[in-house]
Amino acid sequence: GAVVSQHPSRVICKSGTSVKIECRSLDFQATTMFWYRQFPKQSLMLMATSNEGSKATYEQGVEKDKFLINHASLTLSTLTVTSAHPEDSSFYICSAFHPGEGGEKLFFGSGTQLSVL
Amino acid sequence: AQSVTQLGSHVSVSEGALVLLRCNYSSSVPPYLFWYVQYPNQGLQLLLKYTTGATLVKGINGFEAEFKKSETSFHLTKPSAHMSDAAEYFCAVSLTGGGNKLTFGTGTQLKVEL
């Protein structure tokens, strides 16, 4: 099946720094990617929809200036957590929508565990 | 709006025993329902999905799920658990069959014991 690579898998940073997470579709072009966040013992929550060549669409309650999303190419979307604080510590996971006919449509990365000290 | 409830954050079964992971949903429109599995250090992988048609859906690795509208449920089952089934399982609902905007449950960690 299609592969989505997410990097890094784990990052620890100091409060106030910015962290960039990359999501790549390795063998298909993804015009749409999604970013989710999961707090311990809670659901994966959709943060934003990333569309290639246009601005991301953020879900209600998600600060667009804090979580910067860039989808500059058909195979890469990045999520930058700006001025990270301990409350931003979470598991972030991306998915890419495969537009091909039939079969599975949505493929997930393996996630990034962010810990802000 | 839609939501998903997974009963039991942890389920433990013996190898060879029946696996039953529960999922209930709420949706204002006919739902599309999904089960995903996540193995350690890997991305979510689609097990099966219900869009329309037959309410009993068969997926990979011997799993199946039945859509019961009257009970608003989509429970996941497997007749005989294998050690390799140990993983986290997520139920999800979407307004579209392609599943491009999912609402997830909190997940169920399945443990398989000898």
DSSP of B57-74, one letter per residue? EE-GGG-EEEEETTTTEE
Instruction: Look at the alpha carbons of A14, A40, A34, B58 in this order and tell me if their dihedral is positive or negative.
Output: positive
Q: How big is chain B, counted in residues?
A: 114
Q: Is pLDDT of A15 > 90?
A: yes
Distance, in angstroms, between B98 CA and closest chain A CA? 6
CA distance B39 to A38: 16
CA distance B48 to B46: 6
Tell me the two tokens of residue B105: 């449950």
**Which residue in chain A has the smallest CA separation from B44?**
A108
Give the burial class of B29: count Cβ atoms within 10 A of its Cβ; 0-12 exposed, 13-18 middle, 19 or more buried.
exposed
Please enumerate in sequence order all residues whose Cβ is within 8 A of that of A110, keeping only pairs 6 or more positions apart, or say none: A5, A6, A9, A93, B41, B42, B43
Q: What is the pLDDT of residue B52?
A: 86
CA distance A97 to B21: 27
Percentage above 70 pLDDT, chain A: 95
Task: Tell me the chain A residues in contact with residue B105 when contact means C-beta distances shorter than 8 Å.
Answer: 43
CA distance A33 to B82: 33
Do B101 and A4 make contact, defined as CB atoms within 8 angstroms? no
Confidence bin at A42 (pLDDT 50/70/90): confident
pLDDT digits (tens, 9 = 90+) for B5-62: 999 999 999 999 999 999 999 987 778 999 999 888 788 899 999 988 899 999 999 9
Confidence bin at A102 (pLDDT 50/70/90): low
Q: What is the mean pLDDT of residues A50-75?
A: 91
